[in-house]
Amino acid sequence: MEYQTVGSSDAASGGRFDVVIVGAGFSGMQMLYRVRELGFSARVFEAGGDMGGTWYWNRYPGARCDVESLEYSYQFSDDLQQEWVWTERFAAQPEILRYADHVAERFGLRPDIQFNTRVSAATYDEESDRWLVRTAAGDEVTAQFLIMATGCLSSTNLPKFPGMESFRGEIYHTGRWPHEGVDLSSKRVGVIGTGSSGVQAIPVIAEQAKELYVFQRTATYTVPAFNHPLDPDDQATVKADYAGFRARNNLMPGAGYSRYPAANPASIFDATPRERDEAFEARWALGGPTLLGAFGDIMVNEEANDIAAEFVRNKIRQIVKDPDVAALLSPKHTIGCKRICVDTGYYETYNRSNVHLVDVGSAPIDELTPNGIRTGGTEYELDVIVLATGFDAMTGTLLKIDIRGREGLTLREKWSAGPHTYLGLGVSGFPNLFTISGPGSPSVLTNMMASIDHHVNWIGACLTYLRDNGVTSVEATPDAEESWVHHVNEVADRTLYPSCNSWYLGANVPGKTRVFMPLLGFPPYAQKCAEVSANGYEGFALARNGHAAPGVTADSGE
Ligand code: NAP
């Protein structure tokens, strides 16, 4: 097999690359940097007009990360992490986008990225062990390896309400917010959805709009961010040993923040009511999503979980003045089975006279009318409707692309009963295809920047290994994949995570197969990946021009 040289342009390479990467969000950006560094030629296709992925699209009012800035950032370059100065504990979307731009400029990434280009199809050619990648504009290139850096939350979930086209006002999805912004002042605004996006947008929209109607189907658990400007001395302390900080974080559950108190393994039932309250209060006061770590059995025992849930419900009753509104805002489902939100003034917003909570859980939205939304026999007159209705998570974007592997097998057919992967990195029947933070990997249950870094390094090492050993194709074996899928489900089934209608299960998208998609368990997962590579890519079939090339047990170079 030939490999192209670094930095080949389309013209120079004749549309032939070692690697095609789909997506220029944080995973695609780092993957491009890595493969170029390793000497592979690469082309990135990005549907958006610029870098940043999630942070390019999600420009809604109040959009902000709920992972701390000092950890929600790249670790592959010490110069980069030393020079970039974050301003806030939890960075707002514009600052994160500026960071993406800085990274792109600093490492000269843009010349290898084709923006405003959506990949529509990718077909594997068994003769050449190469992928033929086609864009929506009809352009074609080939690559030995296809790396899907398409993000976990990139396909919007757009509910189809009857009468939607008849609405005379404006409709925006939070995940496709206009770049020029939206003037909501003196408008009557309806927000549908109270997940992380809605919880962030609602307090800000409430300040801008004349009247705000929140259409809530399921109440949400949210904890305060207590966001604040970053103390320069504190930032300097982290930077003095950034490598150590990263290493410690990478050993935390979910590659979390090592400066938060560790998760307490003790049972809640061994604590007195007072000790429980003190533990919860301490974590609530910290801000950010540490509440579930107060006791070891919150996510495995329903009774323990309900004690934690009741702590938040009490907070709601203390904050929200109208008892009926407080009751409606109080979630009844398991706490943590949907991702806990992190907010700034969310529950407090319902004390404002211009904010009205509408229950669409007991009576769903009947229709959109020319003037607004009709539910439960009442028509709410609106100028703007904001859909904070989430995403077709983890598989949505992958399945929109017509991906065809061996013998014409489509990924859509293969995943008709839910996603099947090995390690969330490879798919049997689809050689030389990699998914960054794919279903079956810890991805959304971690600090994404850490799991992206892990996958990028693992894939980079794998590609190097294949090149060094003259291997032309790598493919998950059906057995390895089957036992991995079993493992992902089995781990989830030991917990309360599958107990509600979350996007982790695909339950938010009508008709989507209900299966728990991410793997609980980082860092053990990273250990497993290291073992796989150290054992000559155990669980993957390696071949050289169509002939088996048994794994060479050697240092994978990871
Ligand atoms: P989400 O968590 O899926 O929330 C969607 C909301 O829309 C839910 O309240 C849902 O109700 C509601 N909804 C959906 N379809 C509806 C319908 N037909 N009628 C009425 N209500 C409907 O989506 P998201 O808020 O965009 O967040 C998704 C994920 O993105 C988060 O969990 C997080 O991982 C990430 N995110 C992170 C941040 C951050 O870092 N701070 C910010 C935003 C998003 P049900 O609950 O009843 O389905």
The domains of the chain are located at 9-155+393-548, 164-231+257-387
User: CB atoms < 10 A from the CB of 3, how many?
Assistant: 16
**Residue 64: which of 85, 87, 94, 84 has the closest Cα?**
94
Model confidence pLDDT, tens digit, residues 90-124: 999 999 999 999 999 999 999 999 999 999 999 99
534 three-state secondary structure? helix
Instruction: Note the pLDDT of residue 199.
Output: 98
Instruction: Note the pLDDT of residue 257.
Output: 85
How far apart are the CA of 198 and the centre of ligand 1, in A? 7
Residues 6+ apart with CB under 8 A from 82: 239, 242
What would the two tokens of residue 385 be?
């409707």
Task: Determine if ligand 1 sits within 6 Å of the CB of residue 202.
Answer: no
Which atom of ligand 1 is nearest to 508's Cα? 48
Instruction: Note the pLDDT of residue 259.
Output: 85
Burial class (CB in 10 A: 0-12, 13-18, 19+), 48: middle
Task: Determine if ligand 1 sits within 6 Å of the CB of residue 401.
Answer: no
CA 263, CA 130: separation in Å to the nearest integer?
46
What is the number of residues in the chain?
558
pLDDT surpasses 80 at 13: no
Query: What integer is the mean pLDDT of 19-48?
Result: 98
Which atom of ligand 1 is nearest to 196's Cα? 25
Percent of the chain predicted with pLDDT > 70: 96
Instruction: Note the pLDDT of residue 551.
Output: 60
* Beta carbons of 140 and 155 less than 8 angstroms apart: no
Buried b (16+ CB within 10 A) or exposed e, 290-324: bbbbbbbbbbebeebbebbbebbbebbeebbeeee
Residues 6+ apart with CB under 8 A from 29: 51, 100, 103, 104, 109
Which atom of ligand 1 is nearest to 174's Cα? 26
What are the strands, taking DSSP E only, across 417-539?
Answer: 433-435, 473-476
With bands split at pLDDT 50, 70 and 90, how would you rate the model's confidence at 248?
A: very high
Task: Determine if ligand 1 sits within 6 Å of the CB of residue 227.
Answer: no
* Beta carbons of 271 and 111 less than 8 angstroms apart: no
Identity (one letter) of the amino acid at 338? K
- This prediction has a pTM of 0.96
Model confidence pLDDT, tens digit, residues 333-382: 999 999 999 999 999 999 999 999 999 999 899 999 999 999 999 999 99
Report how far apart the first and last C-alpha atoms of the chain are (Å, whole number): 22
Model confidence pLDDT, tens digit, residues 200-243: 999 999 999 999 999 999 999 999 999 999 999 999 999 999 99
With bands split at pLDDT 50, 70 and 90, how would you rate the model's confidence at 10?
A: low
Query: What integer is the mean pLDDT of 144-151?
Result: 98
Tracing tokens 């013209």 back to the chain, one arrives at 11
Model confidence pLDDT, tens digit, residues 418-476: 999 999 999 999 999 999 999 999 999 999 999 999 999 999 999 999 999 999 999 99
Query: What integer is the mean pLDDT of 314-321?
Result: 98
Model confidence pLDDT, tens digit, residues 477-490: 999 999 999 999 99
CA 415, CA 393: separation in Å to the nearest integer?
14
Instruction: Note the pLDDT of residue 5.
Output: 37
**9-155+393-548 domain in CATH 3.50.50.60?**
yes
Q: Of 54, 57, 153, which is best to mutate to test ligand 1, by the most ligand atoms within 8 angstroms of its C-beta?
A: 153
pLDDT surpasses 70 at 131: yes
Instruction: Note the pLDDT of residue 312.
Output: 98
Q: Which has the minimum average pLDDT: 310-324, 353-367, 391-405, 536-550?
A: 536-550
Instruction: Note the pLDDT of residue 426.
Output: 98
CA 342, CA 64: separation in Å to the nearest integer?
10
CA 105, CA 67: separation in Å to the nearest integer?
24
Task: Determine if ligand 1 sits within 6 Å of the CB of residue 392.
Answer: no
236 three-state secondary structure? helix
**Interhelix angle 26-37/448-468, nearest 10 degrees:** 30
Instruction: Note the pLDDT of residue 549.
Output: 87
How far apart are the CA of 93 and the centre of ligand 1, in A? 17
pLDDT surpasses 60 at 9: no
Task: Determine if ligand 1 sits within 6 Å of the CB of residue 339.
Answer: yes
Model confidence pLDDT, tens digit, residues 379-432: 999 999 999 999 999 999 999 999 999 999 999 999 999 999 999 999 999 999
